[in-house]
Structure 1
Amino acid sequence: MNRRIRSAFAVALTATLIATVPQAPAQAQDEHAKPSVISLPDGFQPEGIAAAGTYAYFGSRATGAIHRADLISGEAEQLSPATGTPSLGLKVDPLGRLFVSGGTAGDARVIDTRTGDVLARYQFASAPTFVNDVVLTREAAYFTDSNKPVLYRLPLGRDGALPPADGFTTIPLTGAYQQIGTGVNLNGIAQTPDGEALIVVQSNTGTLFRVDPATGVSTTVDVPGYTFTNGDGLLLVGRTLYVVQNRLNQIAVVELNTAGTAGTVTGTITDQDFDVPTTVAMALGRLYLPNARFTTPPTPTTPYTVVAVRPL
């Protein structure tokens, strides 16, 4: 066999071997590369989550510290130090700014995700107050208050310019929504699929409401045969609304109409690693949820994790 024939044979044999060796699908390889459970610091007591690219941000309801986790490596580090007040619902915008709900402090902070610096702070309310969650639209950031039947609107100017410290408005809710008792009422918040209104969940009744952000008028979202008991964080992807039901350790999956006036529950997502998850963010094709572990007495050594699941 001459050298040219031997070379051609070697190339053909190599190609045949490559073709016949089983190759893991790209998606499977990608899934294997990303951890399904990420550890947060012991004693952290997470509540909110926001995601951007390959990173997720978590707030501590105990100290207000903000941690950033690499969703590929699973490594986490502190971005912003403890404030002594809670950091609850989080959202990050395309400018790399993290909007943080301040819980019992009645405030919100905006943090630079590159430096951890606080860019602005807004004092919405005084006790009793529980600024719980936030959603970002093109024009504003909207915050819920679990102790008051209102939304707080933080307008965003040209190129996302932040308003001055007193540049927010309070929107009283009217219509179908009614405040019930002193427990957690308003909780998660999202936009409707058409972007014209907002959707909020009332945790203690398990009801979804559509809210006109210009007037505060609310109507009940018609979801036949389902009550969102312990409804917490909301996430809208297209026309699919993910509703975290914290103490039920599940996510209800709702297919909404375009206006967000009605929907159908198409399934639920559970996982053996759920331990009272509270909020949810989408990243790298998966849903990430921090385990708040409300049913576990918190100590400085109590472990906390973030769980990734596949969406429906």
Structure 2
Amino acid sequence: MSGIARRARLAALLAGALTVVLGLSPAQADHRPDQIVLPGAHSAEGITAGTGTTFYAGELFTGNIYRGDVRTRTASTFITAPKGRMALGLRLDRPHHLLFAAGGFTGQAYVYDSVTGAPVKAYQLTTGTSVINDVAVTSKGAWFTDSSQAKLYFIPISRGGTLGAVRTLQLHGPAAVLKSGFNNNGIQASADGHTLVVAHTNSAVLNTVDPVSGASATITGVSVPNVDGILLQGRTVYAVQNFSNKVTEWRLSEGLSSGRLLETITSPKFEVPTTVARFGDHLAVVNAKFDTGFPPKASQYEVTIVDR
């Protein structure tokens, strides 16, 4: 058997194994759509992985939350939010079945039951000019960014799942830089919760932040113009660069002080993507379509599925 024939046979065997693992027929594996429509949505911004192949995605200007499945490529309205809410970044606390949503220009954060969709609690994180943009969950609580103030906000979660009073962390160093427009945006936490990684849109960088002191430092070697949401898994960071219409994958050093580019992921179906979730070898990326205006004026909003 020639080398080409052997490689072709191996590829076929791997494809067949993948359909078995995912529980799909070959036809499903070959012909599933690469976009999942959020039916009835008039805007979109945040996404987070749920359990298994489930995801949650937010409708920016209503605060409604969709629940979908990357395997079946379907989604439907899960939470109809009270009037006046918004939904930007989303994050799931799996042990306690709590879904956190960043409330954008309201200065608020919302917590929902991820199983039933019932509202659990609403927080007024700050007053005045603010954009509560994204959220990261650790074993001790949820951290929120503010794109207009040099602050992070923390909602503690007890071991039993009880939510505590909000605390404010004043930032210092490069994460405290404020310019016109959007500053601190996407946020993630290291596995041990001892370091936060925060995307700074105006500075086009990622910064580490000490969750105790608020001290920050720029991760060298990482340049991310138009950075929005980020996803940190181990020492790998996926950075969504909205108006650049791409997702970049970076490998960080052991101390998270520097990074190098691994891959640039693009798709003709990206239309100002804002946030990302990972499902095995696939990324689920939300199209916010801010190129149509603000508020956006597109007729449809969707999650795009791409290979990583």
Letter in 2 for 1:272: P
Answer yes or no: is 1:272 the counterpart of 2:268.
yes
What is the aligned partner in structure 2 of residue 239 from structure 1?
Answer: 235
Conservation of the 8 A alpha-carbon contact between 1:43 and 1:300: no
Aligned pair in 2 of structure 1 residues 221, 81: CA closer, same or farther (>3 Å)? same
What is the aligned partner in structure 2 of residue 8 from structure 1?
Answer: none
Mapped partners of 2:109, 2:296: distance in 1: 26
Answer yes or no: is 1:181 the counterpart of 2:172.
no
Post-superposition offset of 1:236: 1.0
Mapped partners of 2:189, 2:264: distance in 1: 21
Letter in 2 for 1:306: V
Letter in 2 for 1:242: Y
Answer yes or no: is 1:282 the counterpart of 2:278.
yes
| Aligned mate of 1:302, from 291, 299, 304 | 299
What is the aligned partner in structure 1 of residue 156 from structure 2?
Answer: 155
What is the aligned partner in structure 1 of residue 84 from structure 2?
Answer: 84
Post-superposition offset of 1:60: 1.0
Letter in 1 for 2:16: P
Secondary structure of the equivalent of 1:160?
coil
Gaps of 5+ in 2: 1-11, 20-25
Answer yes or no: is 1:168 the counterpart of 2:166.
yes
Mapped partners of 2:98, 2:31: distance in 1: 28
Mapped partners of 1:169, 1:233: distance in 2: 23
What is the aligned partner in structure 1 of residue 206 from structure 2?
Answer: 208
Mapped partners of 2:220, 2:282: distance in 1: 27
Aligned pair in 2 of structure 1 residues 301, 236: CA closer, same or farther (>3 Å)? closer
Aligned pair in 2 of structure 1 residues 299, 176: CA closer, same or farther (>3 Å)? closer
Identify the range of structure 1 (268-277 vs 151-160) with the bigger mean alpha-carbon deviation.
Answer: 151-160
Mapped partners of 2:182, 2:160: distance in 1: 35
Mapped partners of 1:300, 1:227: distance in 2: 30
Identify the range of structure 1 (253-262 vs 197-206) with the bigger mean alpha-carbon deviation.
Answer: 253-262
TM-align CA RMSD? 2.0
Mapped partners of 1:205, 1:49: distance in 2: 24
What is the aligned partner in structure 1 of residue 145 from structure 2?
Answer: 144
Mapped partners of 1:59, 1:117: distance in 2: 15
Aligned pair in 2 of structure 1 residues 289, 171: CA closer, same or farther (>3 Å)? same
Mapped partners of 1:54, 1:170: distance in 2: 34
5 Å-filtered alignment, 1:1-312, equals: 24-27=15-18, 29=26, 31-32=29-30, 34-52=32-50, 53-82=52-81, 83-94=83-94, 95-163=96-164, 167-192=165-190, 195-223=193-221, 226-297=222-293, 302-311=299-308
Conservation of the 8 A alpha-carbon contact between 1:43 and 1:299: no
Mapped partners of 1:283, 1:33: distance in 2: 18
Letter in 2 for 1:310: D
Conservation of the 8 A alpha-carbon contact between 1:37 and 1:305: yes
Letter in 1 for 2:256: G
Aligned pair in 2 of structure 1 residues 189, 301: CA closer, same or farther (>3 Å)? closer
Aligned pair in 2 of structure 1 residues 145, 38: CA closer, same or farther (>3 Å)? same
Post-superposition offset of 1:31: 4.2
Instruction: Show CA shifts across 1:65-84 (max 9, x none).
Output: 11111222222221111332
Instruction: Show CA shifts across 1:224-256 (max 9, x none).
Output: xx5211101110122110010011011111101
Mapped partners of 1:34, 1:237: distance in 2: 26
Structure 1 segments of 4+ aligned residues over 3 angstroms from their partners: 28-35, 192-195, 297-301
Secondary structure of the equivalent of 1:32?
helix
Instruction: Show CA shifts across 1:130-151 (max 9, x none).
Output: 1000001111110000010100
Conservation of the 8 A alpha-carbon contact between 1:245 and 1:251: yes
Post-superposition offset of 1:176: 2.9
Overall identity of the aligned pairs, in % = 38
Post-superposition offset of 1:301: 6.4
Gaps of 5+ in 1: 1-21
Identify the range of structure 1 (134-143 vs 75-84) with the bigger mean alpha-carbon deviation.
Answer: 75-84
Identify the range of structure 1 (174-183 vs 232-241) with the bigger mean alpha-carbon deviation.
Answer: 174-183
Work out the number of aligned pairs and report it.
285
Which of structures 1 and 2 has the bigger CA Rg?
1
What is the aligned partner in structure 1 of residue 22 from structure 2?
Answer: none
Mapped partners of 1:216, 1:75: distance in 2: 40
Post-superposition offset of 1:109: 0.8
